Amino acid sequence: MTAVPPSPLAAKARRVAALIRKEGWQIVRDPSSFAIGVVLPLMLILLFGYAMSLDVKHVPIAVVLEDPSAQGREIAASFQLSSYFNTRVTRSMAEAQEEMLSGEIDGIVRVPADFARRVAQGDGQVQLIVNGIDGNTARIVEAYAAAAVAQSGARLDAEGQDDSASGGQATVESQLWFNSANDSRYFLVPGLIVLIITLIGAFMTSMVVAREWERGTFEALFVTPVRTDEILLGKTVPYFLLGLGGMLLSMAAAKFMFHVPIRGSLTALMGVSMLYLLVSVATGLLISSSLKSQFLSSQVTLLVTFMPALMLSGFIYDLRSVPLAIRLISYLVPARYYVILLQTLFLAGDVWSVIWPNALILAVVAVVLLALTRRATRKSLG
Amino acid sequence: MSVGSGVPVIEGRKLAKSFRGPGKQLVQALDDVSFAVMPGTLTALVGPDGAGKTTLIRLMAGLMIADAGELTVLGFDVKGDPQAIQDRIGYMPQRFGLYEDLSVQENLDLYADMHGVSAQDRRARYPMLMEMTALGPFTRRLAGKLSGGMKQKLGLACTLVRAPDLLLLDEPTVGVDPLSRRELWDIVSRLVREEGVPVLLSTAYLDEAARCEHVMVLHQGKLLSQGPPSAVSGLADGRVFDVQSDGGEPARELQARLLDEPDVLDASPEAGRVRIVRREGAPEDPGAGSAGLRFSPVPARFEDGFMVLLQPNAGQAGPAKDDAADMKLEHPPAADAGQPVIEVDKVVKRFGDFVAVDQISFQIRRGEIFGLLGPNGAGKTTTFRMLCGLLRPTSGGLKIAGADLKRSPASARQKIGYVAQKFSLYAQLSVAENLDFFASAYGLYGARRRQRIDWAMAQFQLGPIANQLGGQLPGGYKQRLATAAALLHEPDILFLDEATSGADPLARREFWRRITALAQQGVTVIVTTHFMVEAEYCDRIAILDSGRVLAQGSPAEIRARGATASNAQPTMEDAFIAVIEAARAPSPNERAA
Amino acid sequence: MLASLRRILALIRKEILAVLKDARTRNMLLIQPVLQCLLFGYAATLDLNNVPYAVLDRDRSTASSALLAKLDGSGVFHRIANLTQADQMKRLIDNQTVLLVIQIDPDFQRRLSAGEDAPVQMIADGRNSNTAGAALGYAGAAVDSFNADWRADHGLPPSPITVSPRAWYNANLETRWNLIPALVGTITLMSTLMLSALSVAREREEGTFDQLLVTPFRPVEIMAGKAIPAMMIGVVQATNALLVAQLWFRIPFAGSYVTLYVGLILFLLAAVGIGLFVSSIAATMQQAMLYAFVTIMPFSLLSGLTTPISSMPAVMQDFTLINPLRYAIDLVHRVYLEGVGLDRLTPDLWPMAIIAAVTLSAAAWMFRNRLE
């Protein structure tokens, strides 16, 4: 019937194009792809960009002023002036303790009755009680409180007390490279990009091969001239493109909404992001074609991609401080390498000695995963 | 076609294939199967559920590899080069294989692209396919929104985007109404006749097998017979009789009685009479000892021969027929036969603008078997769901056993049993756990619950499989378990929604035997079915289309509506099609406009 | 009434059987929480114990050595390089070989001896500013400790005002003490919400829901029969996580189990209410799972588990008021670590009760009206 048989390569290209088009229609018509592809990324951008912050501000505390002397009031004032604290001044320790017990405040600064007298003796003591449940916050509160007290100490000194005897001390001049403003968004937002790419790339893809098995559509498709690699290509390309959209969206949000600087080259940033996207898509495809059940593969995907990307990638928690066993596991998490790349390319610049090895690892992982997927998908019902 | 007329298009030699079953034991799906399919022929593959039909077709399509034996398709070795076969054949799996979120046109285009059909070939081929399948007006509709029959036709069209060298169809007519079934058959036979494409299809409808040139009968993985259908029907030659009662005994009761006769191999009601197949070696005179019955010999059909062929092997497929007949209820419904138990009065159901059920009315009396027939999308399922209380009618009156299901649900639902179209018990629970749960759900407890579960286990022979998971049972057992669960609380009314869809003839026979036994004890039964022969078991039938009742009455009354000058003794299927077509034909004023 | 109870009981039995029969589901529900607790208990720590750093000591005096000894002895810092030139610094930080570089000027000891302040420069890799900030904090503490020693050794009076800090409930400020009890709430929320969201959707997809509806079950009975097993599994999961916290991580339990379980049951009721509501609007399992996921995500991120609620903008803080996990984490913390009683927990209890009441009645209403 066919007049001129097309060349095998042209026929192959046409089949792949048809499969991609088909997948595209399915994406457009499935409301759940809208949910994962658009709603979730936007939600994550909002949550990470606006809601989540590790910066400690407005901690509710009470200053118990048992010594209403000038020195005591000076201490209270330095807490009231600090933006780190929401300070309430009281006279009664019992009242403050009650508030602490009922969870209304997270710290008590107690200026004892003999404070002024002891300051005069060079031995003034301020008691600080913090709610230690959130150890991280508590530690920051302690540091801020010490700073506030030191400030008032300095003011007291300046008010003409003789300081020749107090002597010098080692002082810390700290510089935070790459994030001099110490803005936690600078590391949360690149981390967010990891989560979004993982989610679109892997979570969504994890269902699409299993869906064809569950709905029985593969059976009819298999008995056509289509080859396995064409089916896989037809699955990889559309979800890769979709992930690219999510990736650009979150990069734009990072740059223009949250003003995180991009100090490395855009080409390198795009290049490594596409590599990681490919790794994510390949992970989703591999899980999906091995398990052949939408429910199971989406659960497994969440468990092996999203959770590790959140917990074991070094994005929030420092991997140098975890036990060896966990650190070894973290080397198996591709997100780990991508987090290093993102943090470097966003904040440090084109540090090629960091970029090349990590990018190479991602590339190798992508190739291995795709090869495994190719093996797991066979035109056979077994 | 390229294949010479003398060389078989498919040839299998000593094929074997086994699978790991649920209990890790090996199940032999195909055993020593050898056959040949000749070019240009229409071949049917028939056999009961689990006979190995789908496995054999999948082997031919290169989707599975046989454990042993040789299989060549179109001259290619399946094991060596499945792709070469897949490049050349058309295959429609049992589950359509359509992308439901793609439109009709998009599905067609996808398969045309897969097969590398050029644009000019498409221009020639598409109009032909559209004409053949009558899908022309629906090209933009999503495949998921099509009715069952239309989906099958689209599936077929997708495999025919280019002329295949061979067409494999796995149960293309399951769950399809008689009208669509006839249309599908027209397409297939035209293909064989006009284009010379060899077609192999599997089917549960034995009348379809009779229309093929070549039939292969599979049973428990073994090929029992292959050849022209006449070879199978010939097995029953001289043993088939039409039985009529002088005393006016209803065909259904006569059928049940005759089935119990030792000489009778098979009996089925047909056109108000009963058709029987006698066992081999039965006494010469069929009428001896049966006073008041008139026996007239009739030519054997494929189905008769099929029963003869399978009966010696039926040991495992179904219980001995006496068990099925002994469906004694402990507390049969009160004997006020003839009282209406279901009253449907001008019921309307709308979904948005769409009127699914339009002013239907009927009454069903106690102890009746009532059949609800109609093409796909006629409103049967909607009506059924309203009767069971799963849907609320938009307007109209609906009374079940004197109660409004929506108002006094618990007590009214206590009186009904429901067997859904698809297996709808818990797949993760064992047979015993399923029964236990449904017994409790119906408020049975303590000794009474124990007693009822024992009854169900005994009546449906579920004892040996009590610990198997519901989801892993073979089709026939699922059916039995579902019916058992629906009968635990001895309901007054039993709802059966396409309960025999896809079931093989043996399982259907067994199923109907239980149902008629229940009806005799006063249980009211409402069924929907696509098997028109099953309508013969009903006391009364209503035919629905487009949400309206087109005809209502006894099987004889309905059949009479199909009578034409050329066909004085129409079958139920003839009558059904006549009723639907008469209603669908444009009325004179419409034609004028 | 009795018949109704019997039916609910039958449904509960069936649900539990169905869940526990499948080995994959069983593992997912019972073993996974324990593994998560263990993994996160070790992985999710903001405490530093292995900070690689480099030193550019231009003074090479006894004072600078004493200062570095403080750092090396802190158990947090791990010196991996002694630099000789400032330009070596950049490479080490860029490549993430070190997190921190400490630079001591040549006149360090001289200035201290002269009674002047002597600056110590600390350069940290701010790519993860949280870790860097914490490392600087630890380093600052080491410097303070060096100062105190220096003053004592040189007969100087201590500084006029000192702060004597004390942390209640978690004296060593261990992140794990905060995290593991919070995980009790988070893990049970995830699985009870998923479980209840999927249970009805699965029945709907498999056709068993219709079968259930034609039996004498009332919608409320079905809801109860679905809610109670999910809650029972939630209680078992919470118990598993609590056991890990106490027996493995040895976090001391300060409160009363009765109080804790009363609070948890109220929380589970709210979680199941949300799950059943999701279930009532989802048509398929896939939808149910997605909706559940989209719900769980903001709930767990805005619960105070990863970042403190008080640091969030006001709008987001308001949003957390409808988040049951927020209350559950607070409740578990306060009972587990602070040991407070029910009387002090009312601010956590009544919002959860309201959430449960609203979601459960919304789900019941949806079930009754979504039979069409």
CB contact (8 A) between residue B433 and residue C17: yes
Q: Is A102 exposed, middle or buried (0-12, 13-18, 19+ CB in 10 A)?
A: middle
The ipTM (two decimal places) reads 0.80
Residues in B closer than 8 angstroms to C283, CB to CB, are: none
Residues in C closer than 8 angstroms to A161, CB to CB, are: 160
In a domain, A337, yes or no: yes
Residues C245 and C308 in one domain: yes
Mean pLDDT by 10 residues, chain C (372 residues): 88 90 78 84 79 91 90 88 88 86 90 85 83 84 86 74 70 77 89 88 85 87 92 93 91 92 95 92 82 87 82 84 93 88 88 94 82 51
Among B385, B391, B428, the residue with its CB nearest the CB of C22 is B428
Residue B498, phi then psi, degrees to nearest 5: 40, 50
Residues 13-52 of C with CB under 8 A from B: 13-14, 17-18, 21-22
Residues C183 and C117 in one domain: no
Residues C228 and C330 in one domain: yes
Residues A90 and A15 in one domain: no
Among A142, A178, A296, the residue with its CB nearest the CB of C165 is A142
What is the model's pLDDT at position C351?
Answer: 94
In a domain, C2, yes or no: no
Q: For B292, which DSSP code? A: T
What is the model's pLDDT at position B592?
Answer: 47
CB contact (8 A) between residue C166 and residue A143: no
Among C11, C206, C216, the residue with its CB nearest the CB of B410 is C216
For C35, name the nearest residue in chain A, comparing CA atoms only.
Answer: A303
For C21, name the nearest residue in chain B, comparing CA atoms only.
Answer: B428
Number of domain units in chain C: 2
DSSP string, B23-37: TS-EEEEEEEEEEEE
Residues C209 and C270 in one domain: yes
Residues A13 and A71 in one domain: no
In a domain, C329, yes or no: yes
- Is B99 near chain C, with CB under 8 Å? no
CB contact (8 A) between residue A223 and residue B86: yes
In a domain, C166, yes or no: no
- Is C215 near chain B, with CB under 8 Å? yes
In a domain, C188, yes or no: yes
Residue B109: CB partners within 8 Å, gap ≥ 6? A18
- Is C206 near chain B, with CB under 8 Å? yes
Residue B399: CB partners within 8 Å, gap ≥ 6? B342, B343
**How big is chain C, counted in residues?**
372
Best mutation target among B440, B453, B489, B494 (most C Cβ atoms within 10 Å) is: B440
What is the model's pLDDT at position A163?
Answer: 47
Best mutation target among B59, B67, B108, B113 (most A Cβ atoms within 10 Å) is: B113
Q: Which domain covers residue C108, as residue numbers? A: 51-153
Residues in C closer than 8 angstroms to B497, CB to CB, are: none
In a domain, A381, yes or no: no
Residues C123 and C250 in one domain: no
Residues A63 and A46 in one domain: no
Tokens of A7: 């060349």
Residues C184 and C306 in one domain: yes
Residues C84 and C200 in one domain: no
Residues A38 and A64 in one domain: no
CB contact (8 A) between residue C308 and residue A354: no
What is the model's pLDDT at position A165?
Answer: 47
Interface of A with B (CB under 8 A): 1-3, 6, 11, 14-15, 17-19, 21-22, 25-26, 29-30, 215-217, 219-227, 379-382
Residues in A closer than 8 angstroms to B99, CB to CB, are: 22, 26, 217
**How big is chain A, counted in residues?**
382
Residues A290 and A232 in one domain: yes
What is the model's pLDDT at position B314?
Answer: 44
Tokens of B520: 């005799």
- Is C11 near chain B, with CB under 8 Å? yes
Among B82, B90, B102, the residue with its CB nearest the CB of A22 is B102
Are residues A148 and C163 in contact, defined by beta-carbon separation less than 8 angstroms? no
In a domain, A96, yes or no: yes
In a domain, A231, yes or no: yes
In a domain, A3, yes or no: no
Element at B566 (helix H, strand E) = none
CB contact (8 A) between residue A167 and residue C120: no
Residues C178 and C324 in one domain: yes
What is the model's pLDDT at position A377?
Answer: 82
What is the model's pLDDT at position A170?
Answer: 67
Hey, what domains does chain B have and what are their CATH numbers?
Answer: 10-232 (3.40.50.300)
Measured CA to CA in angstroms, residue A148 lies from A74, A80, A155, A213, B119 at distances of 10, 10, 11, 64, 80
For B426, name the nearest residue in chain C, comparing CA atoms only.
Answer: C208
Residues A201 and A330 in one domain: yes
- Is C2 near chain B, with CB under 8 Å? no
CB contact (8 A) between residue B61 and residue A223: yes
Q: Which partners does chain A have (≥3 C-beta pairs < 8 Å)?
A: B, C
Residues 436-465 of B with CB under 8 A from C: 437-438, 440-443, 445
| CATH code of C107's domain | 3.40.1710.10
Q: Which domain covers residue A151, as residue numbers? A: 59-155
Other CB atoms within a 10 A radius of the CB of residue B296 amount to: 11
Among A50, A161, A321, the residue with its CB nearest the CB of C50 is A321
Residues A362 and A227 in one domain: yes
Tell which residue, B52, B58, B76, has the closest CA to residue B165. B76
pLDDT at A34 over 70: yes
Residues C295 and C345 in one domain: yes
Number of domain units in chain A: 2
CB contact (8 A) between residue B418 and residue C208: no
- 3-state SS class at B469: strand
- Is C144 near chain B, with CB under 8 Å? no
Other CB atoms within a 10 A radius of the CB of residue B287 amount to: 14
What is the model's pLDDT at position B439?
Answer: 93
CB contact (8 A) between residue B99 and residue A217: yes
In a domain, A4, yes or no: no
* Residue in the block written with tokens 């999510």: A246
* Residue in the block written with tokens 């540091």: A143
For C8, name the nearest residue in chain B, comparing CA atoms only.
Answer: B441
Residues A204 and A237 in one domain: yes
Among A6, A14, A222, the residue with its CB nearest the CB of B86 is A222
Residues C287 and C310 in one domain: yes
Residue C100, phi then psi, degrees to nearest 5: -145, 140
Are residues C129 and A176 in contact, defined by beta-carbon separation less than 8 angstroms? yes
Distance of CA A89 to the CA centre of its chain: 38
Residues in C closer than 8 angstroms to A52, CB to CB, are: 301-302, 306-307, 312
The CA distance from A212 to the nearest CA of chain B, in Å, is: 9
In a domain, A74, yes or no: yes
Are residues B329 and B451 in contact, defined by beta-carbon separation less than 8 angstroms? no
In a domain, A135, yes or no: yes
In a domain, C160, yes or no: no
Residue B398, phi then psi, degrees to nearest 5: -140, 115
A-B contacts (CB, under 8 Å): 101
Residues C211 and C305 in one domain: yes
Residue B318, phi then psi, degrees to nearest 5: -150, 160
* Residue in the block written with tokens 């650009």: A248
What is the model's pLDDT at position B593?
Answer: 44
CB contact (8 A) between residue B391 and residue C212: no
Among B409, B416, B440, the residue with its CB nearest the CB of C218 is B409
pLDDT at A261 over 90: no
pLDDT digit string, tens, across residues A163-214: 444 566 666 777 767 666 667 778 788 888 898 899 888 988 888 888 888 8
CB contact (8 A) between residue C46 and residue A135: yes
Point out the residues of chain B with pLDDT beneath 50. 1-4, 313-321, 591-593
What is the model's pLDDT at position A5?
Answer: 61
Residues in B closer than 8 angstroms to C372, CB to CB, are: 351, 391-392
The CA distance from C71 to the nearest CA of chain A, in Å, is: 13
pLDDT averaged over every residue in chain A: 84
What is the model's pLDDT at position A78?
Answer: 84
Residues A283 and A141 in one domain: no
pLDDT averaged over every residue in chain B: 85
Final residue of a structural domain among A137, A155, A173 = A155
What is the model's pLDDT at position B1?
Answer: 39
Residues A203 and A140 in one domain: no
Residues C30 and C97 in one domain: no
Residues in C closer than 8 angstroms to A75, CB to CB, are: 161
Residues A198 and A325 in one domain: yes
Residues A14 and A64 in one domain: no
